[in-house]
Structure 1
């Protein structure tokens, strides 16, 4: 993680570091911390606030990464054609590639390999509070200390010459200055510093000083909006608790449409109201991700992939080859593997597709009809495809699967078991939202905060390898069960709760979107609950922690595509060797039967019963789960694709009470 410190180039700190090194300065302005690619993708991506030991930084947008990439000839992009196409559709931009994070492994504890790489970041917020005298001031009033080149955790801001609370200034006193924790955010993804000066003076200027001396007085450290802002110049005081609640929002200033990660403001402005936020608030940053399990490509995907490779290989010179013979084109594309087996006509067609990529207008039109299941459908097709033999390996995608026989005692609705011995999962970050999540996979593009000032030509992603187990349910049994659920009072209660939840969202999405388009069908609730109880059971015998096992749910009714009812439980690692094989071993018939039956038996009881077993949302409740809680069903954020929404054990097994007849697995010994 690289960061800008006051007075130096804001988004090219590595160049600053080189200047300091050339001058034999024993300072480390550039490096201030580190983060794993997964954390920078899911928790601390561009626009998020990342906690360091002594201050906070915000990873910058993609534009600022270009000077970092320029330090290398480039990195090998992540190959995932289907994901790249989905990214283009979502952004309505002809994105060229998915790049890994700029990183180079260290070869030793004090190695300098890769120190010229990093994710650019800015110090944010840039209002700090002195821990010695309560002085509240911008970054420029404080000194920066970071002398050890291999200890970025020691970087800190200090108030040099702090007078202390007694008013006796001392050059030796250098107490720590910490970030002032209040911010302003809006539902359109903007974020700004809290205007402390304007707040304490009620929107007016200080009557005594042009640059007032502000203090932040804490009555109870770390508890919400408990601070009082005081102007030592004129004596004005105002508590931050006035900014809380609906009444407090009316007192806050309007949104300035600021994107601090881009060092810019939206030219069109913003009409959304502002919300008081704390630095560590969990709803400050929600990433919008696209994720795929890389599967064997169909002919359409192969043609698009070849066009992408041609565009990348020829670069800006691609127009010079228009009309040339296929033999000439081949000689210019020697870096593309397998080109010799491609027919001349196919090569020319791919070149023409590369020469004229889809326009932003065409991509935006495709986005109107896009659905998250468009990414899942090819995976479902590949996993349910009957191939010759019980074992199949696809070298291009890295997918290796083996069909497992059913144990005679396995619950009959489980129709097919597949051991996924090797798989490759690729994730890409395309934007983020604030205050409200991007409804939960697909929402209004206007609410997505951009990751670059200009339409991006690349997005950052991660590539993980691992293993899993795929379970497919019998479609006839699922459809028969769905009929019972659709006609039940329990499902009607969940539908009503979902409508209330949708209408209560701060982003006001319900005013332009029908909640039915976001409600998951009953089969999703069934498979989602089944996946959760299974992964909790698998964690006890697979050798993996429950947080390292994740789910991929294939659940949609008959409509524009063939119906699906299955779940893939997987674990992945960024290591090139993947994982240890613990989940694959559980796919053996006898062991899987024990695991499934054990999970279903545990689902029959919860330590919070009967409260949990009878939980049904009623007006005005808007929670999106029924008989499910952290004691029996809910999983960690790393495991669940829906943040523990759409769960109910009554859809899975028969629980005592009014809806005893809705359990899908009726016979659970």
Structure 2
């Protein structure tokens, strides 16, 4: 099959039109091959050691790009036509043949009508493979009385037609495939049932459209016919990292100090005996920690090993870097990570219930983010992961599609002790445990963060703030993104939110967001965000609900109050609950007293 070239934005080569994705361009349906097809001479390498440490050995590369009109030798990505089967809008003829006219590919039928891609493709349920529906084979098969000997052995490959019947309405009953040679006709209603393709003996080829069938591995999973543009056809797995000076987390710094202490070897030698207990108290007093922490480090259980989830490992380093910046005040360091930090101090006009829990804010004046595509899945989030580079493995490093962006943002740090006290409330824990239970029952959801009370509350607050910032920052809400630092069950507890915007341009963004991080603007903005969320247009149904969203992974949260663009949210608009922020009949919200205090202040 001849490759086809069309223009895309550079950022779209990672998402949503990265490796393995179907893209509609100018009436044609195309699919992106893996990075082994890239011309590496025109794919510049991107540097981000933090990201590669989590992805594994490999190379981050930006897709080949150009400015202006594409010519024959212009650096570009290759896209393959998929599905290959098309039908004529004018005469209904179905074929997968492509012709040329004066050296150019044409998308026209012999009758002059435009050729349109078929609506349905076949996707493997578990193997993440995708292929054309073999329309000629499917039309001439089935278990009804119409499959005669003439139909079974029909060879009229050019007589297939896609027909519509106005008498049968607008649904699938009105659409059918017909062979004008043998008279066989089959409605598309018979195609979309769960085991339809398996009953007709149509098997998964175990490959992707751009890979030769001879290279495919046998696949025993069933195929299902789905609409070509269905979102489940492509579930990208991306990973992003901020380009920051990697700061060791506090637990790692403490472990290093303990191990370097002159008496540390005595604890190890005594191996939990009375001398170890006594010496651990000496070291703990000197370093400002607890004897239990010193003994845990000596036992090798300090928890500073590599985490099984790459994103959590990345966030640990980012959290430490932000904390250091917040303590430094005005940042005059320059570079690609510039953050001005200021402490939140009480003011008579500000609600104390907010300033007690929000301890510091960072105005992120400049930041660099690198986003990479790790791979993709099809049909369901628990299907097999297909790597972004499917080339041979002999001694070569895989290439990950990546893009670097520069931008600005606002970082909020919350008081750890206040959060711990709030999380210990039984009603708060019971509310969050509803989502914890549903996450454990949903295999694909286990790749998301654990919905601890602090995570759900800060995640929901982030969404409320994004919706409010869209009115004041000059950026659309889809241009704003979040990064939630909210984990209590790690060596270094985190409690913060980063809301940022980034663009794929060396000059970054224009400052419309970072200026709102100033104290006089941010606190009123937070109060306004809480006030808007206090009453949802879908109340009382929304606020009283505990089962909303995909797989019921939201509680009191809907499009009227909390949801934002899925490209803005780390968790795809899941694990949200207004009650854990604002409170409810049976639960105290993290910021549940703020609005009452504001109204009392007048």
Alignment TM class, shorter chain as reference: 0.7 to 0.9
Task: Tell me the distance in 1 between the aligned counterparts of 2:78 and 2:325.
Answer: 48
CA 1:241–1:519: 2 relative to 1, 3 Å: farther
1:447 correspondence with 2:385: yes
Q: Secondary structure at the match of 1:435?
A: coil
Q: How far apart are residue 491 of structure 1 and its match?
A: 3.1
1:135 correspondence with 2:93: yes
User: 527, 532, 553: which one pairs with 1:597?
Assistant: 527
Task: Tell me the distance in 1 between the aligned counterparts of 2:563 and 2:554.
Answer: 10
For the 8 Å contact 1:262–1:451, the answer to whether it is kept is: no
Q: How far apart are residue 159 of structure 1 and its match?
A: 0.8
- Residue of structure 2 in register with 1:83 after alignment: 51
Q: Secondary structure at the match of 1:425?
A: strand
1:427 correspondence with 2:359: no
Q: How far apart are residue 399 of structure 1 and its match?
A: 0.2
Q: How does 1:639-654 map to 2 (within 5 A)?
A: 639-654=568-583
Q: How far apart are residue 137 of structure 1 and its match?
A: 1.1
- Residue of structure 2 in register with 1:189 after alignment: 128
For the 8 Å contact 2:388–2:399, the answer to whether it is kept is: no
Q: How far apart are residue 402 of structure 1 and its match?
A: 0.4
- Residue of structure 2 in register with 1:478 after alignment: 419
For the 8 Å contact 2:66–2:76, the answer to whether it is kept is: no
Q: Secondary structure at the match of 2:138?
A: helix
Task: Tell me the distance in 2 between the aligned counterparts of 1:449 and 1:274.
Answer: 20
Task: Tell me the distance in 1 between the aligned counterparts of 2:213 and 2:11.
Answer: 27
- Residue of structure 1 in register with 2:7 after alignment: 34
Q: How far apart are residue 551 of structure 1 and its match?
A: 0.3
Q: How far apart are residue 662 of structure 1 and its match?
A: 3.9
CA 1:41–1:111: 2 relative to 1, 3 Å: closer
1:666 correspondence with 2:593: yes
- Residue of structure 2 in register with 1:100 after alignment: 62
Q: How far apart are residue 546 of structure 1 and its match?
A: 1.1
1:534 correspondence with 2:468: no
CA 1:482–1:254: 2 relative to 1, 3 Å: farther
- Residue of structure 1 in register with 2:193 after alignment: 245
Q: Secondary structure at the match of 1:199?
A: helix
- Residue of structure 2 in register with 1:332 after alignment: none
Q: Secondary structure at the match of 2:517?
A: coil
Q: How far apart are residue 382 of structure 1 and its match?
A: 0.3
For the 8 Å contact 1:393–1:399, the answer to whether it is kept is: no
Q: How far apart are residue 530 of structure 1 and its match?
A: 0.5
Q: How far apart are residue 480 of structure 1 and its match?
A: 1.7
- Residue of structure 2 in register with 1:235 after alignment: 183
TM-score normalised according to structure 2 size: 0.80
Task: Tell me the distance in 2 between the aligned counterparts of 1:280 and 1:648.
Answer: 31
Q: How far apart are residue 395 of structure 1 and its match?
A: 4.8
Q: Deviations over 1:75-101 (max 9, x none)?
A: 3x212110122221xxxxx21x21112
Compute the RMSD of aligned alpha carbons.
Answer: 3.0
1:624 correspondence with 2:562: no
Q: How far apart are residue 637 of structure 1 and its match?
A: 1.9
For the 8 Å contact 1:206–1:234, the answer to whether it is kept is: no
Q: Deviations over 1:316-370 (max 9, x none)?
A: xxxxxxxxxxxxxxxxxxxxxxxxxxxxxxxxxxxxxxxxxxxxxxxxxx99834
Task: Tell me the distance in 2 between the aligned counterparts of 1:413 and 1:59.
Answer: 47
Task: Tell me the distance in 2 between the aligned counterparts of 1:144 and 1:436.
Answer: 41
Task: Tell me the distance in 1 between the aligned counterparts of 2:433 and 2:328.
Answer: 45
Q: How far apart are residue 566 of structure 1 and its match?
A: 0.5
Q: Deviations over 1:213-234 (max 9, x none)?
A: 2111134798568521111111
- Residue of structure 2 in register with 1:20 after alignment: none
CA 1:615–1:156: 2 relative to 1, 3 Å: farther
Alignment length, in residue pairs? 521
For the 8 Å contact 1:54–1:156, the answer to whether it is kept is: no
For the 8 Å contact 1:604–1:654, the answer to whether it is kept is: no
- Residue of structure 1 in register with 2:260 after alignment: none
1:374 correspondence with 2:322: no
- Residue of structure 1 in register with 2:245 after alignment: 296
- Residue of structure 2 in register with 1:255 after alignment: 204
Q: How far apart are residue 248 of structure 1 and its match?
A: 3.5
Task: Tell me the distance in 2 between the aligned counterparts of 1:477 and 1:639.
Answer: 28
Task: Tell me the distance in 2 between the aligned counterparts of 1:292 and 1:131.
Answer: 46
Q: Deviations over 1:233-254 (max 9, x none)?
A: 1111111211223354653623
1:567 correspondence with 2:497: yes
Q: How far apart are residue 145 of structure 1 and its match?
A: 8.2
Q: How far apart are residue 587 of structure 1 and its match?
A: 1.1
CA 1:389–1:476: 2 relative to 1, 3 Å: closer
Task: Tell me the distance in 1 between the aligned counterparts of 2:344 and 2:227.
Answer: 52
For the 8 Å contact 1:243–1:251, the answer to whether it is kept is: no
- Residue of structure 1 in register with 2:163 after alignment: 217
Higher mean alpha-carbon deviation, 491-500 vs 195-204, is at 491-500
Task: Tell me the distance in 2 between the aligned counterparts of 1:534 and 1:234.
Answer: 63
